[in-house]
Each structure stands twice: as structure tokens, then as C-alpha cells.
Amino acid sequence: MKVDILAIGVHPDDVELGCGGTLLAQKQQGSSTAIVDLTQGELGTRGTPALRLQEAEAAGKILGVEKRINLKMADGFFANDRANQLKLIAAIRFFQPDIILGNAKYDRHPDHGRAAKLIYDACFLSGLAKIETEWEGEQQGKWRPRMLLNYIQDRYMKPEIVVDISDYYEQKLAAVQAFSSQFFDPNYDPNSEEEPTYISSPVFLDNLASRAMELGRPMGFTYGEGFTSYRLLGTKNLNSII
């Protein structure tokens, strides 16, 4: 299943928060998109793995992705080891993306930085023909994405590139709020025994908007999403750079 852009997040909702607007913008421009979640977010204070999967499915529909899969690695305890690398390599070879968007290189949640390294390693290893993988019983060929970018999450990082998501911010927010067990929901049962969290406060959504405005402002965008890169980014046309 060939797609143009594959977004990878260690937890369901990472993609929505980090690059949901970019997926929407690229979709509007004709790019095909997909999402891979590495874990089910089973260590989250609120919600359940089954509910998170339902929410992820709903969010994926809002983003218009072609397909979303979950590799069911261990939330909080997954390792960047051979077994998990092979799982992710197989997913990359299945989707054959030209561009991958992955977790922040370092962040408040240690899973994010660990996932970023796993994604980096899997992108490289996926291009080695002697590494054998299969998907649903079929042998796969090598595939290496043309570019890997890492979205910015809780900790601010200076981006190498910013995408204009001004026309898509409200839709991005709807995808985020599809995870109603995780984020502020005015209809949430006040008698629920689940504890409030850092991200369930309405202030968190305010901060999300502020970050998008902060990233977009230098470019003249109302809202932006920023990405870092492991390598220099180039262009064949200076006129295409804002």
C-alpha cells in the first residue's frame, strides 16, 4: 500500500498533536497519508487501550488518512531492539512512504525521544535488502523513505521547517478532541473516578493553539507546525521558499 506521507507516533494522539494539521494540508494538495501508532497508550492515566483504539480510528477519519495501524509495542517499556525495529521496518515497507513524520527527538515524555531514535534506525534499516521482513505472509522488498522529519511536541525546539496549517487548525483540533478520554471534554462526567491530568485541562488546548501561533508567526502564518531534521534540507527552486 503506497502512500506519500507516513506519520508515526508512539502513542495514539501524538500524530494529531504534532502533525495533524500538516497531514490535512498535504491531503488537500493531493498527498496520500497513513498513520502508524507504536503502542496503545495503555499506561495513560485515563481511558483504556480499547477506547484509545476507537478514538484513534475516529481521529484518523477526521484527518482523512488511507489507513491507520497499531504495532502494539509496550507503552513505557518498548526498546529500540531488533524485534521492534523489524516490526516498524515491515510497516514502513508496507506503506512505502516518501516522507515520514516521527516523534520529537527529545521531550517531556521519555517515550517520545526513544521512539524518534527507533524511527530513525528503522528508516535506515528498511533500505537494506538483506534484512528480510514479511507482511501478512508476503515477503517484502527494501524501502527507504526519501525524508524523515520530526515534529515538535511538549518541549519547544527550533524548527528547520514550518508548515502553514492556518486553514486546517480547527480540523486538527477536532482530530485531537476525538480522544475525548485524554483531553478536555465539556461533556465529561464530573463524577468520573479518573484523575485529571496535565493534558485533560482546558489550558492544555490553549497552549496547543499558542504553540501553533508561535511557530507560524515568523512565517506570517496564523498557525504553523514545526519540524526538525537530521540532515540539511535543500531546494531546487529558491522561489518556492517563503
Residue 79: CATH number of its domain: 3.40.50.10320
Nearest to 39, CA basis, from 97, 140, 114, 98: 114
The CA distance from 90 to 2, in Å, is 13
This prediction's pTM: 0.96
Tell me the mean pLDDT per 10 residues along the chain, length 242.
97 98 98 98 94 97 98 98 98 98 97 98 98 97 98 97 98 97 79 83 95 97 98 92 83
- Residue 240 is predicted with a pLDDT of 84
57 found inside a domain: yes
E-strand spans in the chain? 5-9, 33-39, 67-73, 99-102, 134-135, 138-139, 147-151, 161-164, 224-229
242 found inside a domain: no
45 found inside a domain: yes
- Residue 195 is predicted with a pLDDT of 85
Nearest to 86, CA basis, from 100, 73, 103, 101: 73
Give exposure, 170-190, as e/b (b: 16+ Cβ within 10 Å).
Answer: ebbbebbbbbbbbbbeeeeee
- Residue 184 is predicted with a pLDDT of 87
239 found inside a domain: no
80 found inside a domain: yes
Our count of domains for the chain comes to 1
User: In terms of residue numbers, what domain contains 150?
Assistant: 5-230
**CA 120 vs CA 3, 102, 103, 115, 180: distances in Å:** 19, 8, 10, 8, 31
The CA distance from 32 to 153, in Å, is 23
The CA distance from 210 to 229, in Å, is 23
237 found inside a domain: no
- Residue 83 is predicted with a pLDDT of 98
DSSP state of 230: S
Residue with cell 482530530: 175
- Residue 242 is predicted with a pLDDT of 81
The CA distance from 236 to 59, in Å, is 35
241 found inside a domain: no
